[in-house]
Amino acid sequence: MNTPPDLRLLDTCVWQSLCGPHRAFSLGTSTARRFAPGFSPIIAFADPANPDWDALAPICTPGEHFYCAAWQGAPPAGWSVDVDSAMSQLVWQGGMPEPEANPGWVALDARSAPEMLDLATRLQPGPFGLRTIELGDYLGYFDHGRLVSMAGERFGAGSFREISAVCTDPAFQGRGLARRLMLELIRRHQQRGLTSFLHVMRDNLRARQMYERMGFVVYRELGVRVVTRLASSAAPAPASLGHG
């Protein structure tokens, strides 16, 4: 009998990803880490209840904005909280998706990175960088040579693998493209003995309802913030956290 995965691993999934499967793409110490420049601008602490900002400051450029989950409290001197919101963490509880006979999607690679960044910038599925594609498998649909829908992998924690950057150009929404990409990623995870999970922002009810219809179940709600390393010439803060 297969042992059910320990859901508590998801409580520290960002930290585990930065210290484990994506350590080569991160910077930091045993108490605070971040994805390297060019990847998704995300930070995490070994102990979110006692974040080590002193360890983080030397590897963050003044004016940089970072996403940080599961941390509350007032920011220390030299940092600001620009957005304070919440998101849901969902875990796949469905079965093995059937493979499509004629899927139509293609595997994305570094050549597609500029188009992926453009799509993510316009649709705001969450933090994304030009090198984020290196964090896992990414799939996409093209229309006349233009990327119109994508989904891929980001965090890894134990036997859990995150599905991320799920977005579709508005002109192509309603066709089930993102759902089909997600089901293919879930199928791959199942084949590898992994459990899929994802995050969705609190106010993105439409996406959350779609994920639940697919077979995802809410594990927990958690806070998420955008923080900035302050400087006199700090860049403007992002308008929102995206839709996750």
Note the pLDDT of residue 82.
95
Higher per-residue confidence, 240 vs 103: 103
**Whether 132 and 68 share a structural domain:** no
Residues 19 and 97 in one domain: no
What confidence tens digit (pLDDT) does each residue in 211-222 have?
Answer: 999 999 999 999
Residue 128 lies in a domain: yes
Mark whether 30 and 129 lie in a shared domain: no
> What is the number of domains present in the chain?
2
28: phi > 0 → left, psi -120 to 50 → alpha, else beta; which?
left
User: What is the C-alpha separation between 47 and 130, in angstroms, rounded?
Assistant: 29
Report whether pLDDT(205) > 70: yes
Question: Is there a single domain that holds both residue 95 and residue 196?
Answer: yes
Assign residue 11 the CATH number of its domain: 3.40.630.30
Residue 79 lies in a domain: yes
DSSP-H helix ranges across the chain: 13-19, 53-56, 113-123, 177-191, 205-214
Q: Which domain holds residue 131?
A: 89-219
